[in-house]
Amino acid sequence: MKKLKFAMVVIFALITVFSLTQISVNASTTEKTIKVLVPPTFNYEWVSQFSEGLALVSENGKVAFADATGNIAFYIPSQFNDAYNFSDGLALVRNQSTREMGFIDNSGELVFDIPAQFSSASSFSEGLALVSNSSTREYGYLNKAGDLAFLIPEQFNMASDFSDGLARVGNVTSGPTGFIDKTGELAFTIPEQFNSATNFSEKLARVWNTITGEVGFLNTDGNLSFTIPPQFNNARNFSEGLAFVSNSLTHEYGFIDKSGNLVFNLPSSFVPKKGAFYESYAIVSYGIWWGFIDKT
């Protein structure tokens, strides 16, 4: 039976929300220890997770980034009052009132403003940042120089971030779902019998069968990966070679590999919270307890 490797109650997570902790694992004994790197402090109104060595914090109503010691590395430029975590070396900043947006580097300097024609933007992913205009439903991508690299093909009016070299595009009213490459060209559309798809993760994307509602996986060539055909009631993206799936008919409730083979089932009392492994562990809950499982 799969067992929790170690667990913590929700209260522990709440108490340490304002501290930086490090979980270490002894490879020979699988003994886990939790070390507090930055003691809990309530000088910050809120904090976020670390990304690229910096964490978003709020101090006295001002948005800033803190380093691994817990100290303020820099405040965001004064014309902005909101920010997002760093990705690809840049962080999105904006003013919630004026709608002004831009990107800063890891020294806090403004690299470029986002063109005023766009009302929304996402963080950089694989060197490109998604931007859009909610009124015209115009979608495009900026490069790291702040230039518009391209707009998506005109038959589509929605888009997502790039992953595995491809970005999902679609039409909210009609038409197919497809994927574009980094030149803005349509790489492929998904087969007609599938009405939805996720972004790619580890070269595979989830797709849903319109009629049966079953979930399968698509590869980056646009062909169904016949080793993992639509057969699951529920599925999550692949992470570190495994994906969580469930099938009420076959009683599968666990993780599969990229060949579609069931690696292990989970006890029905375990609830995957993220459905993904990170550094060889996945978070699950069991009643009031939260803990981690490994890949065995």
Find out whether 87 and 104 touch, Cβ atoms under 8 Å: no
How far apart, in Å, do the first and last CA atoms of the chain sit? 10
The rounded percent of the chain whose pLDDT value lies above 70 is 84
Q: Is residue 134 part of a domain?
A: yes
Find out whether 50 and 68 touch, Cβ atoms under 8 Å: yes
Please name which of 250, 248, 259, 257 lies closest in space to residue 295, comparing C-alpha atoms: 257
Three-class SS of residue 15? helix
| Final residue before a domain boundary, out of 147, 165, 189 | 189
Mean pLDDT of 85-93: 97
* Together in a domain, 174 and 197: no
Confidence of residue 146 (pLDDT cuts 50, 70, 90): very high
Q: Is residue 282 part of a domain?
A: no
Q: Is residue 76 part of a domain?
A: no
Distance CA 288, CA 275 (A): 18
Distance CA 236, CA 161 (A): 18
Between 14-23, 112-121, 179-188, the lowest mean confidence (pLDDT) is in 14-23
Asked if the model's pLDDT at residue 7 lies above 60, the reply is no
What integer pLDDT is reported at residue 10 of this predicted model?
40
Distance CA 17, CA 24 (A): 18
- The two three-digit tokens of residue 32, written as one number: 């886990």
Q: Is residue 103 part of a domain?
A: no
Phi-psi domain of 251 (left: phi exceeds 0; alpha: psi -120 through 50; beta: other): left
More confident position, 293 or 201: 201
Mean pLDDT of the chain, nearest integer: 84
CA neighbours closer than 13 Å in the CB half-sphere of residue 192: 0
* Together in a domain, 217 and 176: no
Q: Is residue 156 part of a domain?
A: yes
8-state DSSP, 76: P
Find out whether 46 and 55 touch, Cβ atoms under 8 Å: no
What integer pLDDT is reported at residue 256 of this predicted model?
94
- Residue 273's CB is within 10 A of a number of other CB atoms, namely 12
Q: Is residue 137 part of a domain?
A: yes
What integer pLDDT is reported at residue 281 of this predicted model?
87
- pTM above threshold 0.85: no
More confident position, 235 or 190: 235
The label of the residue with tokens 């009052």 reads 81
* Together in a domain, 247 and 258: yes
* Together in a domain, 185 and 222: no
- The number of distinct structural domains making up the chain is 2
* Together in a domain, 209 and 259: yes
What integer pLDDT is reported at residue 67 of this predicted model?
92
Q: Is residue 63 part of a domain?
A: no
* Together in a domain, 175 and 222: no
Asked if the model's pLDDT at residue 15 lies above 50, the reply is no
- Residue 254's CB is within 10 A of a number of other CB atoms, namely 20
Question: Pairing state of beta strands 62-66 and 54-59?
Answer: antiparallel
Q: What is the CATH number of the domain that holds 216?
A: 2.40.10
Question: Which residues constitute the domain of residue 222?
Answer: 191-265
Mean pLDDT of 118-144: 95
Burial string for 84-111 (b: 16+ CB within 10 Å, else e) reads bbbbeebbbbbeeeeeebbbbeeebeee
Tens-place pLDDT, residues 204-244: 999 988 788 899 998 888 776 656 888 999 999 999 999 99
Tens-place pLDDT, residues 26-85: 444 445 555 555 566 557 888 888 999 999 999 999 999 999 888 999 999 999 999 999
- Residue 44's CB is within 10 A of a number of other CB atoms, namely 18
More confident position, 75 or 4: 75
Confidence of residue 22 (pLDDT cuts 50, 70, 90): very low
Asked if the model's pLDDT at residue 16 lies above 50, the reply is no
* Together in a domain, 260 and 198: yes
Q: Cα 183 to the chain's mean position, in Å?
A: 23
Three-class SS of residue 264? strand
